[in-house]
């Protein structure tokens, strides 16, 4: 077993739990919406946030592959990976309300949680960029014009997602965040 395989086992477990948490949130929301005698309104904001978190998780899972030759086993690397992937789990856990029936309007939940979820993911992005910048093999990748442009769009949209007011503007920003990842995956 290589060092990457050893570390990725922990990382993959935590990221996999994060993905399962978002998918579980989708399932709970659908179940609550389909129950008779409930007035749960899912709307677009929370599902868009959920899709964005899923796409970002997949993006970071791919990024882990890029760093496979640069990661070594140490107490520091295990703690860093646990903190990093743990923050993803926290963000994923907060996307959907735990008890959908107690949150009849998911848009209200979105506006309560968006700064925490998007803020945590923004900090994780900054940590990832700092790690890349500290690695001589990866630092030049950050300076590629396409990479810089896509990163700037992501940063701007994440900040906008945390602070834009109103449901319509938030839907537009969240849809653009999802669209940005879809474009990246299709490139």
Q: How confident is the model at residue 10 (pLDDT cuts 50, 70, 90)?
A: confident
pLDDT at 154 over 90: yes
The stretches of the chain forming alpha helices (DSSP H) are 3-34, 45-66, 75-95, 106-134, 139-142, 145-163, 167-186
Tell me the percentage of the chain whose pLDDT exceeds 70: 100
Mean pLDDT of the chain: 91
CA dist 142 and 121 (Å) reads 18
Q: Which two tokens stand for residue 168?
A: 């319509």
CA dist 131 and 57 (Å) reads 17
Q: Which two tokens stand for residue 23?
A: 């998918």
Please state, in angstroms and as integers, the Cα–Cα distance from residue 111 to each residue in 39, 51, 108, 170, following that order: 19, 16, 5, 9
Cα dihedral 72/123/96/49 (nearest 10):
-110
Higher pLDDT, 173 or 11: 173
**Residue 159 pLDDT:** 98
pLDDT at 187 over 80: no
Q: How confident is the model at residue 158 (pLDDT cuts 50, 70, 90)?
A: very high
**Residue 2 pLDDT:** 80
pLDDT tens for residues 18-63?
A: 999 999 999 999 998 888 887 888 999 999 999 999 999 999 888 8
CA dist 101 and 187 (Å) reads 40
| Average pLDDT estimate for 2-14 | 81
DSSP annotation of 41 = B
**Residue 107 pLDDT:** 95
Q: Which two tokens stand for residue 147?
A: 């990479």
pTM to 2 decimal places: 0.91
pLDDT tens for residues 102-147?
A: 888 999 999 999 999 999 999 999 999 999 999 898 889 888 999 9
- Would you call 105 helix, strand, or coil by DSSP? strand
């Amino acid at each position: 077993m290589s060092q990457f395989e050893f570390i990725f086992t922990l990382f993959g477990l935590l990221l996999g739990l994060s993905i399962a948490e978002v998918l579980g949130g989708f399932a709970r929301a659908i179940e609550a919406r389909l129950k008779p005698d409930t007035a749960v309104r899912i709307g677009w904001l929370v599902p868009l946030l959920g899709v964005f978190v899923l796409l970002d998780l997949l993006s970071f899972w791919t990024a882990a592959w890029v760093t496979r030759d640069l990661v070594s086993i140490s107490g520091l690397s295990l703690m860093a990976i646990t903190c990093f992937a743990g923050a993803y789990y926290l963000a994923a856990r907060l996307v959907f309300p735990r008890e959908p029936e107690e949150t009849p309007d998911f848009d209200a939940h979105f506006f309560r949680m968006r700064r925490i979820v998007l803020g945590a993911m923004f900090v994780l992005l900054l940590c990832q960029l700092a790690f890349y910048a500290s690695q001589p093999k990866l630092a030049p990748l950050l300076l590629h014009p396409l990479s810089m442009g896509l990163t700037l769009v992501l940063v701007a949209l994440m900040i906008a997602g945390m602070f834009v007011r109103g449901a319509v503007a938030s839907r537009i920003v969240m849809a653009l965040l999802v669209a940005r990842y879809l474009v990246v995956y299709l490139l």
